[in-house]
Structure 1
């Protein structure tokens, strides 16, 4: 069994993902895939359990939002858990529901709002748990040591259900898939590609065209996401380049290009003036160049700062890091 855990800020998008079919597939494509692989691509999601919530994605989103407001100290209020069985293994819906409950309990959201959903569009059975990290008491479920907890949970469930013990998730991948970069390697590659492209472009259309040339699909809305050639999706903010930051960098690049073009024109004008008044033209040229170099230095400095991504792979929400309290010695007064 392979487990996955992540947190996010968008309630609606997570609920949409677990409750709906893949958006990139048309109805014709779903039918064609179903005929070829004998899987269920249309209406792929079946809700196994609603816990302290109910309704469709819109109703669920409003309910989750209302409870999320009980805590103002975190932005990423959604917890996404998934479990995928090894090839050839099969469990009943009741067993899968119990697994979903075990997941919720292991991550401290058993009494929170969550839904457990079975997806039927893959050969291996797999479930998703979309949970609110904020409880009805306003307390937030921590995500510390999440990968370790998920690994321990998988090993425990494998023993309980008599499943194969997957000591390494990559064990059940094909030989080709094993050669693919790991998740973090993909992030590093995307980060480097964005960084290099931003250095070479000064407009959003040019940036998007060059990123597409590198094999990425761009999803732009309020934010920006990148999908690589293996359909792995990352938000720009995950690698330190949010849409706001990208637009800011491109704006500065445009300013720098405009300044350089202006400087070039001024040099041409100065050259023409120099034939009439050499000393005056030379003094004017020096002042222009000094002014340009000062502005160029400022813009280049800002660009350098912005092109350094904020992403770090070991990021932890500072709000979730509790400082240990110092123990008072006996007899000490307040």
Structure 2
């Protein structure tokens, strides 16, 4: 089970999101998606419980605002809690109601206004709790250590309902547990998609276009970040592919392409320069042909060597743990010459 906690200033927007279908989906698109994944994209939300409130999004918003007036000092009175099961887990609606009540109790809103809503448009069952942090007594629910409290709550609920155990965020683990390897399927998928895209892209624009086709939104600034279809943002540096590394790989590929192009042009020029005049003797023509074949073979061999070298560098760059240690021999020679000159001046 994975939990999420957030606070905000708008009752209306949070309640609307919990009660309505996704706004970006048309009615036709909802039908198509339902046919594909057999999930409920139309009328996806089912209210499991109204706690000290009732009605539609407009009525709920008015009720929340009325109670919020009891504490003018709070800037963010909206509390939004989410609890999501692992794909293999499933609970009944009554069990979700119980979980919603335990969650409300943990965050001090059991006696406040809140709604508990089940969403049916994902393979992982999940509920949303939209709550008023301001109680009828004017007191405001404390939001300190909210992520730690949510992580501890999820671990308790997993044991109570026999759910699949999920590791808590590292910040809330013991020093020993933090050393255990953690698998993040979302980051692993992004890493694999970036590696596959870099194999085919020949420019940054091409790379960004292909990533968008895979469903990612690409944010480029001083660094690079990717937002997947679940609206989760991941920095490229977190998975070993910073903006500098991506641009370096694409630059190496462009260099390899240019070298191969130059070699092909050289071969074509040599082929075009072959003599065709009939006055040359047969022996001389055969000798020149052998010489031309030898030169062409040398060019091909040189081209193969260039490709091997560049692909070797690209292979290392495609590894996120790669740190370049290559030094140009020409730079070394120049450095030695400068040292000798410096020694002579002394």
- Pick the TM interval, shorter chain: 0.5 to 0.7
Of 164, 182, 185, which residue of structure 2 is paired with 1:173?
Answer: 185
Which residue number corresponds to residue 278 of structure 2?
A: none
**Alpha-carbon distance in structure 2 between the residues aligned to 1:171 and 1:109:** 33
On the 8 A contact 2:151/2:168 being kept in 1, the answer is no
**Structure 2 Cα separation of the partners of residues 72 and 175 of structure 1:** 42
Residue 176 (structure 1) shift: 3.6
d(CA) in 2 for partners of 1:31, 1:59: 29
**1:233 Cα deviation after fit:** 8.0
Kindly report which structure 2 residues correspond to 1:206-245, keeping only aligned pairs within 5 A, or say none. Answer: 215=218, 228=227, 230=229, 232=231
**CA deviation after TM superposition for structure 1 residue 232, in Å:** 2.5
Corresponding residue for 1:63?
63
Aligned residues: CA RMSD: 2.2
Helix, strand or coil for the counterpart of 1:123? coil
What is the distance in 2 between the residues matched to 1:7 and 1:136? 19
The answer to which of 28-37 and 170-179 deviates more is 170-179
* Offset of residue 178 of structure 1: 6.5
Partners of 2:86 and 2:160 in 1: CA distance: 15
What are structure 2's unaligned runs of at least 5 residues? 170-181, 193-216, 220-225, 234-346
- TM-score if structure 1 supplies the norm length? 0.54
Give the greater-gyration-radius structure (CA).
Answer: 2
Conserved? CA contact 1:85–1:126, under 8 Å: yes
Where in structure 2 are the equivalents of 1:255-270 lying within 5 Å?
none
Alignment of 1:120-269 (within 5 A): 120-168=120-168, 171=183, 173-174=185-186, 176-177=188-189, 179=191, 215=218, 228=227, 230=229, 232=231
With the length of structure 2 as denominator, give the TM-score of the two structures.
Answer: 0.52
2-structure distance, mates of 1:178, 1:152:
28
State the partner residue of 2:16.
16
Q: CA deviation at 1:151?
A: 0.2
Higher alpha-carbon deviation: 92-101 or 169-178: 169-178
Q: 1:11 to 1:160 in 2, by over 3 A?
A: same
**Matched ranges for 1:297-312 at <5 A:** none
Q: CA deviation at 1:146?
A: 0.2
Structure 2 CA distance for aligned equivalents of residues 233 and 2 of structure 1: 14
Go from structure 1 to structure 2 and tell me whether the alpha carbon gap of 1:32 and 1:176 turns closer, same or farther (over 3 Å shift): farther
Distance, in Å, in 1 between the alignment partners of 2:72 and 2:8 is: 15
Is the contact between residue 215 and residue 229 of structure 1 (CA under 8 Å) also seen in structure 2?
no
Q: Which runs of 4+ in 1 moved over 6 A?
A: none
CA distance in 2 between counterparts of 1:83 and 1:98 reads 12
